[in-house]
């Protein structure tokens, strides 16, 4: 009897893409000239790779009259068209992958606040480079091989949990993959496992600190020495609050799914002066409102071109994050960004004045008796937009004291931002607590 087994399909022709140009063993220590030479080589590879393998890039380049061979210097990147979140959404789910699906090893997605999620993919090589960059980031954050690392970024389609996880292991640390949520359990595990470092959003670290106190425990007495916080804007005032309450060093990790995930940039624990961008893998630019590039030091929107991504290269991706590029400090050849305190899309325009939630955070945390627990509600009174800050005070204070604190907040907002907001003190524990990225702004203007 003969089996009728279908023979395996013929092996596909070799893929039309290659590995990105290799880098040196210790890229953080390159000098600027060597770094730029590596960037150019990798940029040229990326631009060819994207043009040859992603129809949308080919169409956009052709429409702009630019060919990959036109990229002869780093400055030539300005000839290339921008990529936007809209482009990515239009290509949902896999239209911008630059390698066959059989070579993709993992998919992540960013939820986004509206519409379809953005789906991103990684080859084995991409995952390997990502783990290296997280390991590098953790090293910069002061995390040492052998440490136990409590990872409270969400595991799943979000890049935070799994992205950080591999880097923790790569550095030679013990990964404790807790994910986000179940805060009482987080407290228990921190007490029992005695981790040296914690990874989570700054707002979630605050929730954890509160949970310790609610159980009558002193959060300064944990084993934690370092917190690697990111995934949402936070201020230096919030950093001080977290450091004092938890007795640790809090450092900023930056990244976004479209460009890779966490680990695009990392602040050094030595300098705590904004994330260094790992420029051997990502080429940053800052553009103004007219989308023209501005000089280093000037503020604008951060734009990235990836230099080594295989499955999902991005060309001049507009992040919507607002910051400026500055000279490196702990890693002199790599530029830093100023701590990101806002995105284009969470800017509130209140009666013609621009306002970011982090500005309220900064002011509130300077005022005695006010806490970082606040939300912003936008409403309409007649035809006018109104903004109400609902904020919690430190527990157990007198009504007059809390009302005085509210008045100070209102006056300082008027003085520094130039607009009048209502401030309402709400009872302790009445506002939602963060379990990951915290939602601060509630737009109720469409509601009657
Ligand atoms: O939040 C990746 C990440 C995970 C970064 C864990 C750091 C730690 P997305 O969900 O795609 O990816 O959101 C990216 O979050 O464009 C910024 O607006 C914001 N963001 C990320 N890190 C920071 C930070 C992850 N350190 C978007 N400071 C970005 C301010 C940040 N905003």
3-class DSSP state for residue 306?
strand
3-class DSSP state for residue 54?
coil
* 188 Cα–ligand 1 center, Å: 27
Cα 265 to Cα 40, 62, 107, 383, distances in angstroms: 19, 32, 21, 43
pLDDT at 316 over 60: yes
3-class DSSP state for residue 251?
strand
Q: Could you identify the atom of ligand 1 that is nearest to the CA of residue 339?
A: 28
Q: Is 167 left (phi over 0), alpha (psi -120 to 50) or beta?
A: alpha
* 427 Cα–ligand 1 center, Å: 30
The closest residue, in CA terms, to atom 29 on ligand 1 is 256
31 pLDDT tier (thresholds 50, 70, 90): very high
Q: Could you identify the atom of ligand 1 that is nearest to the CA of residue 153?
A: 6
* 256 Cα–ligand 1 center, Å: 5
Tell me what the mean pLDDT of segment 69-89 comes to: 97
* 229 Cα–ligand 1 center, Å: 10
Q: Could you identify the atom of ligand 1 that is nearest to the CA of residue 343?
A: 18
Q: What are the pLDDT digits (tens) for 360-396?
A: 999 999 999 999 999 999 999 998 999 999 999 999 9
Q: In this structure, how many other beta carbons lie within 10 angstroms of the beta carbon of residue 390?
A: 17
Share of the chain above pLDDT 70, in %: 96
* 277 Cα–ligand 1 center, Å: 13
How far is the C-alpha of 317 from the C-alpha of 91, rounded, in Å? 14
Tell me what the mean pLDDT of segment 15-30 comes to: 89
pLDDT at 402 over 70: yes
Q: How far apart are the first and last CA of the chain?
A: 77
Angle, helices 202-214/183-193, rounded to nearest 10 degrees: 80
How far is the C-alpha of 176 from the C-alpha of 189, rounded, in Å? 9
**Phi–psi pair at 405, nearest 5 degrees:** -65, -40
Q: Give 62's Cβ-side CA count (13 Å radius).
A: 8
Q: What are the structure tokens assigned to 3, written together?
A: 């089996």
pLDDT at 356: 96
How far is the C-alpha of 444 from the C-alpha of 425, rounded, in Å? 19
436 pLDDT tier (thresholds 50, 70, 90): very high
- The residue to mutate among 151, 163, 231, 312, having the most atoms of ligand 1 within 8 angstroms of its beta carbon, is 231
Q: Mind giving me the DSSP string for 369-427?
A: TEEEEEEEEEEEETTEEEEEEEEEEPTT--HHHHHHHHHHHHHHHHHHH----EEEEE-
- The residue to mutate among 230, 261, 264, 317, having the most atoms of ligand 1 within 8 angstroms of its beta carbon, is 230
- What Rg do the C-alpha atoms of the chain give, in angstroms? 23
Q: What are the pLDDT digits (tens) for 125-142?
A: 999 999 999 999 999 999
- The residue to mutate among 83, 158, 232, having the most atoms of ligand 1 within 8 angstroms of its beta carbon, is 232
Q: What are the structure tokens assigned to 122, written together?
A: 């990684």
Q: Which of 112-121, 184-193, 245-254 has the lowest mean pLDDT?
A: 112-121
Q: Could you identify the atom of ligand 1 that is nearest to the CA of residue 341?
A: 30
3-class DSSP state for residue 341?
coil
Tell me what the mean pLDDT of segment 266-284 comes to: 98
Strands 300-306 and 317-323, sheet pairing: antiparallel
**Phi–psi pair at 364, nearest 5 degrees:** -60, -40
Asked if 15 and 100 touch (Cβ cutoff 8 Å), the reply is yes
- Closest by CA to 265, choosing from 212, 210, 217, 330, is 330
* 180 Cα–ligand 1 center, Å: 15
Q: Could you identify the atom of ligand 1 that is nearest to the CA of residue 321?
A: 18
- How far does CA 81 lie from the centroid of its chain? 23
pTM of the entire structure? Answer: 0.95
Q: What are the pLDDT digits (tens) for 142-167?
A: 999 999 999 999 999 999 999 999 99
pLDDT at 15: 56
Q: Could you identify the atom of ligand 1 that is nearest to the CA of residue 255?
A: 5
- The residue to mutate among 89, 107, 256, having the most atoms of ligand 1 within 8 angstroms of its beta carbon, is 256
Kindly give the residue spans of alpha helices, DSSP state H, lying in 102-214: 124-140, 159-171, 183-193, 202-214
The closest residue, in CA terms, to atom 9 on ligand 1 is 256
The closest residue, in CA terms, to atom 1 on ligand 1 is 231
* 257 Cα–ligand 1 center, Å: 8
How far is the C-alpha of 97 from the C-alpha of 17, rounded, in Å? 12
**Phi–psi pair at 40, nearest 5 degrees:** -65, -45
Q: Name residues contacting ligand 1 (CB within 6 A).
A: 110, 153, 159-160, 230-233, 252-257, 261-262, 319, 321, 340, 343
More confident residue, 111 or 313: 313
pLDDT at 3 over 80: no
How far is the C-alpha of 131 from the C-alpha of 268, rounded, in Å? 18
- Closest by CA to 364, choosing from 332, 400, 408, is 408
Is the bond leading into 171 cis (omega within 30 degrees of zero)? no
Average pLDDT of the chain, as a whole number: 95
């Amino acid at each position: 009897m003969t089996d009728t087994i279908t023979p395996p399909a013929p092996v596909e022709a070799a893929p039309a893409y290659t590995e990105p140009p290799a880098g040196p063993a210790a890229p953080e220590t390159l000098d600027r000239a060597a770094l730029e030479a590596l960037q150019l080589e990798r940029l040229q590879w990326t631009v060819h790779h994207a043009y040859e393998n992603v129809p949308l890039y080919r169409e956009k380049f052709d429409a702009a009259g630019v060919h990959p061979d036109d990229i002869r210097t780093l400055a030539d990147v300005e000839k290339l068209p921008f990529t936007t979140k809209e482009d990515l959404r239009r290509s949902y789910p896999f239209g911008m992958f630059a390698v066959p699906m059989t070579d993709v090893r993992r998919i992540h997605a960013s939820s986004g606040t509206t519409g379809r999620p953005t789906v991103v993919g990684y080859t084995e090589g991409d995952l390997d480079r990502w783990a290296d960059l997280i390991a590098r980031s953790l090293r910069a954050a002061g995390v040492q091989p052998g440490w136990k690392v409590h990872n409270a970024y969400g595991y799943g389609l979000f890049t935070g949990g799994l992205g950080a996880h591999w880097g923790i292991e790569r550095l030679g640390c013990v990964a404790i993959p807790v994910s986000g949520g179940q805060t009482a359990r987080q407290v228990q595990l921190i007490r029992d496992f005695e981790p040296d470092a914690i990874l989570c959003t700054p707002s979630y670290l605050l929730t954890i600190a509160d949970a310790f106190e609610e159980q009558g425990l002193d959060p300064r007495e944990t084993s934690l020495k370092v917190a690697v916080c990111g995934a949402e804007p936070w201020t230096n005032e919030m950093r001080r609050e977290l450091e004092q309450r938890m007795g640790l060093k809090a450092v900023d990790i930056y990244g976004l799914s479209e460009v890779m995930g966490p680990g695009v940039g990392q602040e050094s624990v030595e300098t705590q002066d904004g994330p260094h961008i790992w420029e051997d893998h990502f080429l940053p630019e800052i553009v103004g409102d007219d989308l023209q590039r501005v000089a280093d030091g000037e503020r604008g929107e951060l734009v990235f071109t990836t230099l080594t991504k295989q499955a999902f290269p991005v060309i001049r991706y507009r992040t919507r994050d607002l910051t400026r590029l500055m000279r490196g400090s702990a890693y002199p050849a790599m530029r830093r960004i100023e701590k990101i305190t806002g995105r284009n899309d969470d800017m509130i325009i209140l009666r013609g004045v621009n306002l970011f939630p982090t500005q309220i955070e900064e002011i509130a945390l300077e005022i005695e008796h006010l806490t970082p627990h606040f939300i912003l509600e936008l409403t309409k009174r007649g035809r006018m937009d109104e903004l109400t800050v609902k904020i919690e005070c430190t527990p157990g204070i007198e009504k007059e004291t809390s009302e005085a604190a509210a008045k100070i907040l209102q006056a300082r907002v008027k003085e520094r931002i130039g607009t009048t907001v209502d401030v309402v003190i709400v009872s302790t524990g009445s506002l939602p607590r963060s379990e990951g990225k915290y939602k601060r702004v509630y737009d109720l203007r469409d509601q009657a």
